[in-house]
Structure 1
Amino acid sequence: MADIAFLLLIFFLVTTDIATDSGLNRKLPPWEEDPQDTEVVIKEKNIFTINVNSADRIMVTQKGESDPIDLDNLRKEAVKFLDNGGGKGADACKYCKGARDPRSSDNFDKAVISLSNNRLTKYKTYIAVQNEIIAAYNEIRNREFIREYPGEGINYVQANDEYLDPATPPNRRENLKTKLEAIRILVPQKFSEAETK
């Protein structure tokens, strides 16, 4: 009996698939051994602040005004902010298709989305807000990938999925890697999470 139980235990240990959560995909800035005393100055117009309170209500602050917003409209507002192109001279954005409002973001590189939430915010709401922000970045990246590489016949998200697919041939993967990195440089994902309140 003990031998059979032992064999069953080994069988279940060997054949069981242990599911691992992938978590949230975030790339942290590189560690700097000798931090310099340079202070990064970000203009207030280049910051799109999202606050989620304990009742899971979303408040967006931009152009010095705070307004409540539904989760369904968050992506549209984030895209409008990122794609504004209100910069002049060196800060001008030649690929932005927005309203070019000088009171809103200058270009893709200067625009920062900041998220803060309350300690009592539901996890489901927190993840849903993050998904909408990432979707806003992907919407612009899709457009720019199609504009930059029309011969591919796919958008940024599809190219990224193909790049991550283990069945993709190595030469195709290298080709996609170069194109994906170019789009990530053109439309950097500058997403900041403030400390929970």
Structure 2
Amino acid sequence: MNATYSILIADDHPLFRTALLQSIQMAFNHTQLLEADSLDTLLRLLNQDEEIDLLLLDLKMPGTNGMSGLIQLRSEYPDLPIVVISASEEIAIVSQVKHYGAFGFIPKSSDMKTLIAALKQVLEGSPYFPESALIDTPSFDDVAERIASLTPQQYKVLSMLSDGLLNKQIAYELHVSEATIKAHLTAIFRKLDVKNRTQAVILLQEHHS
């Protein structure tokens, strides 16, 4: 492929980032590669560079909690193709990734040939997901549907709640008032059909376990 691409690799494991970077360099002659080891670094790079053609995102790195990083990025950068590269290869995880708007999913266990073929397919404009994920599987269970109904901001609040933050701390981190956080929590409890923050956190943690 002769086209020039700008690809951003977001993963907090240096060895995997380096291996992925080298693989891409071998397969694509004219490619600008950027690296991020946390969500903060990733967001900073995205704000600096408007020409990113593809984001390769690990679900588990500093600043993210389960699907929260993907949801935030999908919300803030709706036109950016995001492909999740993850060691969590369960069909349920792949289904969630698709549900939250990723353009593809590549298991970290993929061999070089599969990885390069997947990247070429994505860069040519076609989504890539493992064949196992393309088989008709049962739709989201009730809990997953309820969690999926949360807005990106509500999911962010719930994730921070799960991290043990108080309303005041969440309000500070998100630059909003405590009243706004309380309003979010009321909406979250209603959507999840729970009565308090403890039940909401347990629901989220069981869903991502």
TMscore range, shorter length: under 0.3
Larger radius of gyration: 1
Q: Which has the higher contact order (CA 8 A, sep 6+)?
A: 1
TM-score of the aligned structures, taking structure 1 as reference length: 0.26
